[in-house]
Structure 1
Amino acid sequence: MFSLQSAKRMLKYGIIRAGLEVSALSVVRALLPSASGRGLIFTLHHVRPDSPQAFAPNAILSVTPEFLEKAIKAVLEMGMTPVHLHDLPARLADQGDNRTFVAFTLDDGYRNNAQYAAPVFQKFGIPYTIFVAPGLTERSRSMWWETVEALVRQQDKFDFDFGQGTETVAAESLTQKHDAFDRLAAFVHANDEDVAVTRIDAAARQYGINPLAIVDNLVMTKAELKQLVHDDPLAHMGAHTMTHVNLKRVDQTRLENEVRQSISTLQTYTGVSPQSFSFPYGYKSATGQREADAVLATGIPVAVTTQPGVLSKTSLDNIGLLPRVSLNGLFQKKRYVKALASGIPFKLIK
């Protein structure tokens, strides 16, 4: 039995898939050649082999190495020029350069980025940026979305206090598991994030789940980050705050500390100063002009959101809030990459 939330989710993904199918048609792309603008920036998280599971709420954040290779081939076939994200401002400012560009970025510093993504980028000579949050690197901050997935997958029911006292959350059926995950995610986004994450971590520990062990299993260490930068000239490390917090919901002092400390700490890891910044979550309720100003004030030349769109002639006017296009784990088809790179899907949703 589907819940209303599950039905909405299925409808949403159905609409997205339909839009991608239409945009992938060569005749449609031929009708709107200018929709692609000056190119785009891709967002990735995990790059790893498939491990199909019935309950996988974070599947959107994971693509296979094979799909990454298809995505690279797709943009190269479209004549796009791969560049480092931090090189985009100068490229876009060059009025004599009419090429379309593509930049590949990966958030959170997952170990599989070095294990599976880096060899693919190296095969094609593609520069890429990995955004690092030192709180994850140093195992002082958990990843609530991974913790919640582990908790809900393991338990058929669990106790949690959403603010009205402890209650038992049903998580036996697949629908109940998805609803439980969505409810906990909503709890994080509606409350003080530090408090919410602490409460989720405590609940997970009650059921034998160690949130920081999950981080340790998934995220690169300082030594691994330094080694990757040393070994691969295509790799660059960008800043991603200290604690992966929603910057729009913190005060000015916390905002500036999260930004500046993440930049300086990352430089101590690799010996290379970060040249770009990615806002955690990245949607409109997580970043805006105040947050962009705080980043640009440090001298960082470019910062990115997760708000979808292509680059345009006016991108330089908003260099601290550039859009990115997600390579979504639920839509791993080469023709979908070409559809996204065409820019047409973003015309359809306006």
Structure 2
Amino acid sequence: MKSALKHTIIRAGLEVFALPGAGRLWPQAAGRGVVFTLHHVRPQRTEAFSPNALLSVTPEFLEQAILVSIESGLTPVALEDLPRLLAEPEDKRRFAAFTLDDGYRNNPEYAAPVFRKHKVPFTIFLTEGFVERTRSLWWEVAEALLRKAPSLRFDFGDGPQDLPLATAVQKSSAFARIAQLIQSAGEDAVVDQIDRIASEHGIDPLGITGDLVMDAGELRTLAADPLVRFGGHTLTHVNLKRVPEARLHTEIAGSIAAVERFVGYRPKSFAYPYGFASAVGDREIKAAADAGFSVAVTTQPGVLTPSDADRPTALHRVSLNGLYQKRRYVRALISGIPFKLM
């Protein structure tokens, strides 16, 4: 009920900000443009229980987002070029940079042809453990497990609990509790628990990673595309704000070496896993800059501003969310007004 109310409020707000002329009421809110966040790009799926639906958009919607961006006066650019462009005082253009997290196999299959059609650069962020099949995508494993199991015993920290999973509502509630635990307990231990229980139910966690994420050979092939750039996304996709200093630097430096090994060049850009305020702070922003990244992105919502040139490893992004795939919603987001009122 709470989730449904939240989505209803968001849709209502987007409808208001998408009204013709809404952007002209507050033109300064649009800033210098937008960095878009994407994950999966693939045909529409219609399962009743789909907790990761927000991470998936259709190729048709991606094309609409590109067209709306251009119609709104934004110039598509590569993410790694933004710090230089924003720092040029004579350049008054507004920009759109498209980014995709995690390196999904559907990115070259469905997203790349759309970007090529419109000659739009794009950046894909890679996690070593996903590419090398040593780390599971816990959110995908949890979805597969909860979809399959009629009930589940799961330890949320106070001993195993029995979770009924007879309905989509019960499954969604269980997924939300697991996701909350990931961000409040020891992440590695929770991921291990998800993987272990999934294996007991005949689900191969690393097999899911292999099915969904590009391997090193596919990355080398895609790297030949002049429109694509690759960035770092850590070794294990862990919440960096919750790890010790030594691991923070290992995750970041290791991702630089991994991307260079996969595609043959040192990455200039980085995306913080999860990216929200409880996963990225001043320590992590400084660590990314100290590692040599020229630009790094969060998932905290907001448009580009002139001051971003002074702190380019703390850029906000705007999610192209699979729950809100309408052309007019993209126009509302580009206006920047929703983020001024948050």
TM-score per shorter chain, which class? over 0.9
Specify the alignment match of 2:11 in structure 1. 17
Instruction: State the partner residue of 1:190.
Output: 184
Matched position secondary structure for 1:273: coil
The answer to whether the Cα contact below 8 Å between 2:42 and 2:59 also exists between their aligned partners in 1 is: yes
Asked whether the 8 Å contact 2:260–2:267 carries over to 1, the reply is: yes
Q: Is 1:252 aligned to 2:245, yes or no? A: yes
Match of 2:304 among 308, 311, 332: 311
Q: Which runs of 5+ in 1 are unaligned?
A: 1-6
Partner of 1:210: 204
How far apart are the structure 2 equivalents of 1:190 and 1:333?
A: 34
Which stretch shows the higher mean deviation, 327-336 or 314-323? 314-323
Identify the match of residue 95 of structure 1 among 89, 106, 116: 89
Provide the rounded CA distance (Å) in 1 between the counterparts of 2:141 and 2:237. Answer: 14
Q: Are the counterparts in 1 of residues 87 and 309 from structure 2 also a CA contact under 8 Å?
A: yes
**CA deviation digits over 1:310-330, x for unaligned, max 9?**
011111232111000000000
Q: Which residue of 2 aligns with 1:56?
A: 50
Aligned to 2:74: 80
Q: Which residue does 2:148 correspond to in 1?
A: 154
- Secondary structure at the aligned position of 1:95 is classed as coil
In 2, the alpha carbon distance for the partners of 1:340 and 1:28 equals 11
Percent of residue pairs identical: 54
SS at match of 1:190: coil
Q: Within 5 Å, which residues of 2 pair with 1:33-182?
A: 33-182=27-176
> Any idea what the Cα deviations from partners look like across 1:102-159, whole Å, max 9, x if unmatched?
0000000000001000000000000000000011000000011001100111112112
Aligned length: 342
Task: Say whether residues 1:240 and 2:227 are aligned partners.
Answer: no
- Aligned partners of 2:181 and 2:299: how far apart in 1? 21
| Other structure's SS at 1:81 match | strand
Which amino acid in structure 2 is aligned with residue 45 of structure 1?
Answer: H
Matched position secondary structure for 1:303: strand
Residue in structure 1 matching 2:259, options 253, 256, 266: 266
Residue in structure 1 matched with residue 273 of structure 2 by the alignment = 280
CA contact (8 A) 2:232 2:267 kept: yes
CA distance in 1, matches of 2:144, 2:202: 10
More displaced 10-residue stretch of structure 1: 58-67 or 21-30? 21-30
Q: Tell me how large the CA RMSD over aligned residues is.
A: 0.8
Separation (CA, whole Å) in 2 of partners of 1:34 and 1:162: 46
Q: CA deviation at 1:165?
A: 2.3
Q: Helix, strand or coil for the counterpart of 1:324?
A: strand
Distance 1:182 1:53 in 2: 17
TM-score scaled to structure 2, two decimals?
0.99
Q: 2: distance between equivalents of 1:252 and 1:348? A: 35
Q: Distance in 1 between matches of 2:283 and 2:310?
A: 15
Distance 1:294 1:31 in 2: 39
TM-score (normalised: structure 1)? 0.96
Given that 2:37 and 2:299 are in contact with CA atoms closer than 8 Å, whether structure 1 keeps it comes out as yes
For 2:247 and 2:285, the matched residues in 1 are separated by 14
Secondary structure at the counterpart of residue 91 of structure 2: coil
Matched to 2:212, the amino acid is L
One-letter amino acid matched to 1:47: V
After TM superposition, give the deviation of residue 52 of structure 1 in Å.
0.8
Q: Is the 8 A contact 2:84 2:309 kept in 1?
A: no
Instruction: Give 2:242's aligned amino acid.
Output: R
Q: Which moved more, 1:158-167 or 1:11-20?
A: 158-167
Q: Is 1:294 matched up with 2:287?
A: yes
**Secondary structure of the residue that 2:314 maps to in structure 1?**
coil
Query: Structure 2: 5+ residue runs without aligned partners?
Result: none
Q: Distance in 2 between matches of 1:99 and 1:163?
A: 51
**Distance in 2 (alpha carbons) for counterparts of 1:30 and 1:229:** 40
Deviation at 1:166, TM superposition (A): 2.2
Residue deviations 1:211-243, cap 9 Å, x none? 10100000000110111011x100010000000
